[in-house]
């Protein structure tokens, strides 16, 4: 299934029905008075979070949503029926913004959470409401008011416990494929991960956590470089960040694990203040391709910066259990357990 995490749609609530200007015409009712009923109210457009959805793909093909109009009033004091509400279903984690003002309207972070995007118009009054002692036969009836309408932007922010950070090709996809049943694309060139991937990690003692792998970040990601700007929103909800670095320098000698660590955190701070302050577990991957001396050197460099560096090899699975346990400790702290 194609992953779509942003969409702009137009929503229009139903117009109110018109009031009726009618008069009684029954036998035995001489000089029958006004009998025009009210119009029905228009339907609302309601957005609802649905845990069966994982993408905003449906909104790629349908971008206009309109609720039903209220029925017009009729004679014999008959009121028009209200228009049915239109329910628009979105994935859990969808944030809704007014496209014109940029105002955040709703954040649907739980299953079945709902929000009324636009409200239907009010039905007009029929002429039964305008009868007075000096106007026994009013021919006045009100039209229904139009329903609200607006353009809204939908943004999906994945709900995960742990978010994976790191440059392209540091081994994030390999890691999530090893610890969960997620099967992202893995290759030896940058940006093999083009869409976020979610994986559920099962641990001993009936423990589990959800990990999100987002496309690799590069310098300038917060300003649109690479793919990072498009997907950085998916780590905003994560409680803990797993920051993966590597020291094989397959992409050039100018990079270093500590340098990569600083670059990524600078991008996080630039994108959203406070995002870089989330708890981070920093791990050096691909240790099977490094000597013990090289690993020790990287550990000393991170220690000098006040950061504890764990080590692992996602390819051989060495050190992975220790990384998962450290993540679990941070999750327990963040939940107050």
Residues 66 and 84: their CA atoms lie apart, in Å, by 11
Q: 101: Cβ–Cβ under 8 A, 6 or more apart, which residues?
A: none
The predicted pLDDT at position 187 comes to: 39
Residue 331 has pLDDT above 80, yes or no: yes
Per-residue model confidence (pLDDT) at position 133: 86
Of 226 and 60, which is predicted with more confidence?
60
What pTM value is reported for the model?
0.69
Q: Which residue has the higher pLDDT, 90 or 171?
A: 90
Average the pLDDT over 258-275 and give the result: 83
pLDDT at 216: 55
- Confidence band, pLDDT 50/70/90 cuts, at residue 231: low
Compute CA distances 205 → 198, 202, 228, whole Å: 22, 9, 35
Q: Say which CATH topology domain 162-335 has.
A: Rossmann fold (3.40.50)
For residue 296, give every residue at least 6 positions away whose Cβ sits within 8 Å of its Cβ, in sequence order, or none: none
Which residues does 153 contact at the CB level (< 8 Å), separation at least 6?
Answer: 6, 7, 8, 96, 97, 98, 99
Residue 136 is predicted with a pLDDT of: 84
- pLDDT tens figures, 195-224: 567 777 888 887 888 888 876 554 444 444
> Which band of pLDDT confidence, cut at 50, 70 and 90, is reported for residue 56?
confident
Q: How many residues does the chain have?
A: 337
In the chain, where does DSSP find H-type helix? 58-61, 172-179, 228-231, 257-271, 292-304, 320-335
List the structure tokens of 180. 């969960």
Instruction: Judge contact between 4 and 154, C-beta under 8 A.
Output: no
Q: Name residues whose C-beta falls within 8 Å of residue 252's C-beta, 6 or more positions apart in sequence.
A: none
Contacts of 333 (CB under 8 A, 6+ apart): 279
Nearest CA among 157, 11, 13 for reference residue 98: 11
More confident residue, 228 or 26: 26
Q: How far apart are alpha carbons 194 and 186 in whole angstroms?
A: 11
| pLDDT one-digit tens code per residue, 162-207 | 888 888 778 888 888 888 765 544 334 343 444 567 777 888 887 8
The DSSP annotation for 255-290 comes to: --HHHHHHHHHHHHHHHSTTGGGS-EEEEEE-GGGS
Taking the C-alpha atoms of residue 3 and residue 220, their distance in angstroms, rounded to an integer, is: 24
The token pair that represents 83 in the structure block: 């228009």
Residue with tokens 């002692």: 133
The listed CATH number (3.40.50.880, 3.40.50.1980, 2.70.210.12, 2.40.37.10) that belongs to domain 6-156: 2.70.210.12
- List the single range of 65-69, 82-86, 150-154, 160-164 with lowest mean pLDDT: 160-164
Per-domain residue ranges of the chain: 6-156, 162-335
What pLDDT shows up at residue 184?
43
Share of the chain above pLDDT 70, in %: 84
Any idea which of 45-54, 148-157, 202-211 has the lowest mean pLDDT? Answer: 202-211
């Amino acid at each position: 299934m194609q992953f779509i995490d942003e969409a702009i749609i137009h929503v229009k609530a139903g117009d109110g029905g018109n009031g009726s200007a009618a008069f009684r015409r029954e036998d035995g009712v001489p000089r029958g008075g006004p009998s025009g009923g009210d119009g029905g109210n228009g339907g609302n457009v309601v957005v609802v979070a649905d845990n069966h959805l994982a993408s905003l793909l449906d909104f790629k093909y349908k971008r206009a949503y309109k609720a039903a109009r209220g029925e017009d009033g009729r004679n014999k004091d008959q009121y028009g029926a209200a228009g049915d509400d239109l329910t628009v279903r979105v994935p859990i984690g969808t944030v809704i913004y007014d496209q014109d003002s940029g105002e955040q309207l709703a954040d649907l972070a739980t299953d079945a959470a709902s929000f009324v995007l636009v409200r239907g118009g009010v039905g007009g009054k029929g002429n039964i409401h305008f009868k007075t002692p000096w106007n026994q036969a009013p021919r006045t009836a009100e039209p229904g008011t139009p329903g609200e309408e607006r353009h809204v932007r939908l943004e999906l922010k994945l709900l995960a416990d742990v978010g994976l950070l790191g440059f392209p090709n540091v081994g994030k996809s390999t890691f999530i494929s090893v610890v969960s049943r997620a099967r992202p694309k893995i290759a030896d060139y940058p940006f093999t991960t083009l869409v976020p991937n979610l994986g559920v990690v099962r641990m001993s003692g009936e423990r589990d956590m959800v990990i999100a792998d987002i496309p690799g970040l590069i310098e300038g990601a917060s300003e649109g470089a690479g793919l990072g700007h498009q997907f950085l929103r998916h780590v905003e909800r994560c409680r803990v960040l797993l920051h993966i670095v590597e020291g094989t320098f397959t992409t050039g000698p100018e990079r270093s694990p500590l340098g990569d660590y600083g670059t990524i955190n600078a991008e996080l701070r630039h994108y959203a203040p406070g995002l870089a302050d989330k708890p981070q577990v920093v791990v050096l991957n691909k240790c099977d391709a490094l000597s013990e001396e090289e690993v020790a050197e990287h550990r000393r460099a991170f220690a000098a910066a006040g950061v504890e560096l764990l080590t692992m090899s996602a390819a051989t699975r060495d050190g992975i259990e220790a990384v998962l346990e450290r993540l679990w400790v941070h999750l327990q702290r963040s939940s107050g357990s």
